[in-house]
Amino acid sequence: MIDEERKKTIEELVHQKSWLALREELAEWPLPEVADLLLELEKADRVLVFRMLPRRISGDVFSYMESEHRKGLLKDLTDEETRHLLASLTPDDRTTLFEELPGQVTQHLLNLLSAEDLHETRQLLGYPEESVGRLMTPDYVAVRPEWSVSEALDHIRNKGKRSETINVIYVTDDSWKLLDALELQKFILARSNDKVQQIMDDSFVSLNAFEDREQAVFVMQKYDLFALPVVDTDGVLIGMVTIDDVFDVAQKEATEDFHKGAAVTPLKTSYREASVWSLYRKRVGWLMTLVVVNLASSGVIAAYEDMLSAAIALAFFIPLLIDSGGNAGAQSATLMVRAIATGDIKMDQWVKTISKEMKVGIAIGLTMALGSMILGYFRGGFEIGIVVGLTMITLVVAANIIGTLLPFLLLRLRFDPAVASGPLITSIIDAVGLLIYFSIATVVLGHMG
């Protein structure tokens, strides 16, 4: 990682305008660290250092930078510099960049592309957002089954320099229909006279370019793949997705789910890059919406105000009961949300899951009810003890059911189930909990009192 000393050296070189020394110093650094360094420099220095980078690495360094800094840097480059930069990006990194930029900027940048790159980029941008098509690169290497291994290796040597990775080689027929996906090592380990079809295993997994990018995460993880071929509806090979990009997607999706689960509209940048104003906007909407849900709880209290005045000891248990219910609901909901996100539970397993969660709820509810009944007895007497205990078991079971059902319901309605796991479920269960509490209190206290 970057230590302060190395950063200082660079800063000095910049201020002494020792461009050649700077170039030499940076040429030896791993690219992600050059990207980190740029991030740490003053804005003015950043452009200067970026311009100094050897052209063959500047595209890669740019791709390693965070989106906010990429945008900033682009503004400071001349059209000519931008043209070179865009040409040096890999097709998938170019698509990602265009996705992040405002429409007008993208339009301007498209004008700077070569005819070939423009065609390619237009095509990739034609796939839906968050689709597999947006992640793929068309720079793969494909061979024919009737070629010999040594012919194939010659072809790989020829085409491989342009390809992002040649760890996986594809086999297609004359019309580019995908026949197989073979690891490069198979070619190395085979005899050179063998035909490609002799080393084929006819077993491969591919995805359609229009599928959701989360499918790529599932499939690559399930099959332990480094690269995944992407085909059109006729099975024709149109690109490949590499595991580094899919890994990034998995981390991004997990972060989005964390944020959604905490009632934060997912940030488009990292937290560190996010401005106070954007954090405000991403949070306040949900908080205000939840106020509406919370008003239901307040409404329940208002409806039972007389009762509460008459038996103020009931107030003591409000936080205890509604928080316990909310917590149990959040547990169930989070277990569901994550199990759905990782493919552990499917939509059609909801009945089985509910029954499991009901059993867990009854067990937990009984345990919690026993404890809180004793508390209630000491605090408010026998009747309050009964009310609190009965409320606890009913509420925990109800919370488990709501916490299990809500994610499935959201999934069914084509919303992201992730929003169910935190504040939303807590707020809903608070209102339900108060209603259960006061209803039980009315019956028990009315009957016994």
Q: Kindly give, in sequence order, each residue whose CB lies less than 8 Å from that of residue 381, ignoring residues fewer than 6 positions away.
A: none
| Structure token pair of residue 284 | 């306040």
Q: Which string of x and - marks every residue 291-320 that binds its own copies (by CB under 8 A)? A: x--xx-xx--xx--x--xx--x--xxxxxx
Measured distance CA(113)–CA(55) in Å, rounded? 17
Q: Which residues of 86-102 are buried (b: 16+ CB within 10 A; e: fewer)?
A: bebbbbbbbbbbbeebe
Minimum CB separation of residue 445 from its own copies in Å reads 17
Our CB check for its own copies shows the closer of 107 and 298 to be: 298
Measured distance CA(220)–CA(243) in Å, rounded? 7
3-state class of 271 per DSSP? coil
Closest CA to 387 of 304, 293, 331, 298: 304
Minimum CB separation of residue 15 from its own copies in Å reads 26
Applying CB under 8 A, which part among 97-105, 110-118, 173-181, 246-254 lies near its own copies? 246-254
Minimum CB separation of residue 34 from its own copies in Å reads 11
Q: Kindly give, in sequence order, each residue whose CB lies less than 8 Å from that of residue 77, ignoring residues fewer than 6 positions away.
A: 47, 50, 85
Q: Which helix (H) or strand (E) segment is 307 a member of?
A: helix 305-310
Our CB check for its own copies shows the closer of 113 and 243 to be: 243
Minimum CB separation of residue 368 from its own copies in Å reads 6
Our CB check for its own copies shows the closer of 82 and 408 to be: 408
Measured distance CA(306)–CA(81) in Å, rounded? 74
Minimum CB separation of residue 78 from its own copies in Å reads 29
Minimum CB separation of residue 76 from its own copies in Å reads 25
Residue among 198, 342, 382, 415 that touches its own copies (CB under 8 A):
342
Q: With binding defined as CB under 8 A, does residue 244 bind its own copies?
A: yes
Residue among 121, 172, 331, 391 that touches its own copies (CB under 8 A):
331
Contact 147, 195 (CB under 8 A): yes
Residue among 65, 153, 390, 393 that touches its own copies (CB under 8 A):
153
Would you mind telling me the total number of residues written for the chain in this entry? Answer: 449
Instruction: Give the number of other Cβ atoms within 10 Å of residue 201's Cβ.
Output: 9
Residues 34-93 binding its own copies (CB under 8 A) are none
Residues 181-240 binding its own copies (CB under 8 A) are 183-185, 188-189, 202-203, 205, 220-226
Our CB check for its own copies shows the closer of 210 and 247 to be: 247
Q: With binding defined as CB under 8 A, does residue 347 bind its own copies?
A: no
Minimum CB separation of residue 111 from its own copies in Å reads 30
Measured distance CA(296)–CA(428) in Å, rounded? 8
Measured distance CA(289)–CA(419) in Å, rounded? 13
Minimum CB separation of residue 360 from its own copies in Å reads 5
Half-sphere exposure of 393 (CA within 13 A, CB side): 15
Residues 96-115 binding its own copies (CB under 8 A) are none
Q: Which string of x and - marks every residue 265-284 that binds its own copies (by CB under 8 A)? A: -----xxx---xx-xx--xx
Residue among 243, 373, 398, 441 that touches its own copies (CB under 8 A):
243
Contact 441, 314 (CB under 8 A): yes
Our CB check for its own copies shows the closer of 97 and 333 to be: 333
Contact 417, 408 (CB under 8 A): yes
Our CB check for its own copies shows the closer of 18 and 165 to be: 165
Minimum CB separation of residue 282 from its own copies in Å reads 9
Q: With binding defined as CB under 8 A, does residue 28 bind its own copies?
A: yes
Whose tokens are 């997705």? That residue is 241
Q: Which helix (H) or strand (E) segment is 320 a member of?
A: helix 318-341
Whose tokens are 């709820």? That residue is 361
Instruction: Give the number of other Cβ atoms within 10 Å of residue 301's Cβ.
Output: 15
Our CB check for its own copies shows the closer of 236 and 302 to be: 302
Q: With binding defined as CB under 8 A, does residue 356 bind its own copies?
A: yes
Residue among 44, 236, 363, 448 that touches its own copies (CB under 8 A):
363
Residues 417-446 binding its own copies (CB under 8 A) are 421-423, 426-427, 430-431, 434
Minimum CB separation of residue 56 from its own copies in Å reads 12
Our CB check for its own copies shows the closer of 107 and 309 to be: 309
**Sheet-wide strand order for 142-143:** 142-143, 168-172, 178-183
Minimum CB separation of residue 186 from its own copies in Å reads 10
Our CB check for its own copies shows the closer of 9 and 327 to be: 327
Handedness of CA 53, 59, 62, 64 (dihedral sign): negative
Measured distance CA(122)–CA(172) in Å, rounded? 25
Minimum CB separation of residue 228 from its own copies in Å reads 13
Q: Kindly give, in sequence order, each residue whose CB lies less than 8 Å from that of residue 51, ignoring residues fewer than 6 positions away.
A: 81
Q: With binding defined as CB under 8 A, does residue 334 bind its own copies?
A: yes
